[in-house]
Amino acid sequence: DAGVTQSPTHLIKTRGQQVTLRCSPKSGHDTVSWYQQALGQGPQFIFQYYEEEERQRGNFPDRFSGHQFPNYSSELNVNALLLGDSALYLCASSLGGLDNTEAFFGQGTRLTVV
């Protein structure tokens, strides 16, 4: 049973460019959440997708957008990259009930903006 998989594992982009990160949830999970983890910090919630819609959003600008596909996989898009967007981006999957609180994380995509 594959866990949460993310691609790519590493990425280097230039300031101002756009980037797309991908996540496949654990088998049977229908909810995907994205987190940003800056160096030396704890992960910060970006947004969550359930039934192909953004259900909840953290305190991130509109440059951060996402999408969920019918197979529950998800993409995170970041436009107009800033140096401060350099971080580890983690995807977590879970079951969709609002009272379900166990999330499984992928290994993350390390994004470096130069």
**C-alpha span between 25 and 113 (Å, rounded):** 26
Shortest distance, CB of residue 2 to other proteins, whole angstroms?
Answer: 13
- Is residue 22 part of the contact set for other proteins (CB under 8 A)? no
Shortest distance, CB of residue 109 to other proteins, whole angstroms?
Answer: 9
- Is residue 44 part of the contact set for other proteins (CB under 8 A)? yes
Q: Name the residue nearer to other proteins (CB basis): 24 or 94.
A: 94
Q: DSSP states of 3-26 as a string?
A: --EEE-SEEEE-TT--EEEEEEPP
Q: Judge residue 91's burial from the number of C-beta atoms within 10 Å of its C-beta, 0-12 exposed, 13-18 middle, 19 or more buried.
A: buried
Binding other proteins by CB under 8 A: which of 40, 53, 71, 84?
40
Element (H, E) at 73: none
Residues found near other proteins in the complex (CB under 8 A): 4, 31, 33, 35, 40-45, 48, 56, 58, 88, 90, 92, 94, 98-108, 110
